Amino acid sequence: MPTEVILPKVDMDMATGQISRWFAEEGATVKKGDVLFEIETDKAAMEIDAPASGVLRDVTGKEGVDIAVGSAVAWIYADGEAYGDKAPISPLEGEMSTKSTEGVASEGTALALSPVEPTPPDRPLAGHPPLEGEGKTRATPLARRLAREAGLNLSGISGTGPHGRVVKADIDAVLSSPLEGEVSAKRTEGVASGGTAFAPSPVEATPPAGPSAGHPPLKGEGDVLKLFEEGSYELVPHDNMRKTIARRLVDAKTTIPHFYLTLDCELDALLALRTQLNAAAPVKKTDKGEAPVYKLSVNDMVIKAMAMALKAVPDANASWTESAMVKHRHADVGVAVSIPGGLITPIIRHADEKTLSVISNEMKDLASRARSRKLKPEEYQGGTTAVSNLGMFGIKDFAAVINPPHATILAVGAGEERAVVKNGEIKIATVMSVTLSTDHRAVDGALGAELLVAFKKLIENPMGMLV
């Protein structure tokens, strides 16, 4: 029997992926372990090997198209194995086909199968906090994904699928209606008239007052486009990265109670130490001549200081779960890196234990591979905190959005000369503003303040990072 080639799940929160490039064509002979195709996920590009040796047939996975995880994209026939004109039927499709035939035979009515994915147990996707009520509501995987992307609460939607399951049509109905309550009421009335009673959906008929009085909330693409003259814009389809960023930001801002703390750090001592350390760096021979073994940046020292501050205030080095507080033994610092089309957060593991030179070189390597989408999942998943630095753009201060499962993220502004008062005298100092965003469920105000004070102490007395 031919071997099925599927689109694998290479990221914990991956629901779909795109094949960016095939390395083998229809009818090509491949060996087990040969690179078949390259997957473009929301964060990286990964090469997928052939699961068996033989002839590649029935290549159905097209380049640049969203494909559901686990879907068959091709088949590999062993040498000498008979090949028909039609692609083999996967075990799942065969099972559905058999059940469909049984249903027609027993009732005498032909029913068309809708291409609905098999429904897993009601649980959230790995790496994503569930929306309230999501785990108690029956829904197809596609409906769950669409609801999550739109920020909808599944428990407030009456399903029209089998056994009350929420399907894609139910999500589309909510998104296309000016008032979610009207859709819910109409759907409930329709079900009731069919002889089955369902409890009304707990969605208010009247939406809260929006930013512009008299305007219904903008739900779908059509509601947005009708506000602009046709031909005055260009539509650029979202890629997987942008979709994932949007989904996770909605999750973060709707499920995490953010709390913000801001203070100023003087940088003069840190800048002086950085200059001394860079000047003392040994040199090595390269193809382009001699180059220093390391070149520290301010951000490298910020990463180290944040890691050491978490070790000094261990209660803040935590993640929230519904059943327990996760207390981390190491400080793994994610660093936001801008890449074409979005951003990614590679992680410096055990940053509290590493020297500044190691952190600097590791960060340069991670950032370089992040921009070329060559990071491995384990290099950007997890972490216990994060740092986002916009100082190089001259941004004075900002507040960053927490990236679950982190409970904190530090937003770093530009260092600039400011007038400060010392001992009753006005003096000039290089000052950097930082803002700590905390998950108030895990890190209370006083605890967050303690963490930020520990960070400030290390930045203003940087010799502490060397011992």
Question: What is the β-pairing status of strands 54-57 and 45-49?
Answer: unpaired
Judge contact between 355 and 277, C-beta under 8 A: no
CA distance 263 to 449: 9
440 in active site: yes
Question: What is the β-pairing status of strands 258-266 and 425-439?
Answer: antiparallel
Residue in 128, 163, 406, 440 annotated catalytic: 440
Across the beta sheet with 347-348, the strand order is 258-266, 425-439, 408-422, 385-389, 333-335, 347-348
CA distance 341 to 350: 29
- Show which residues are catalytic: 440
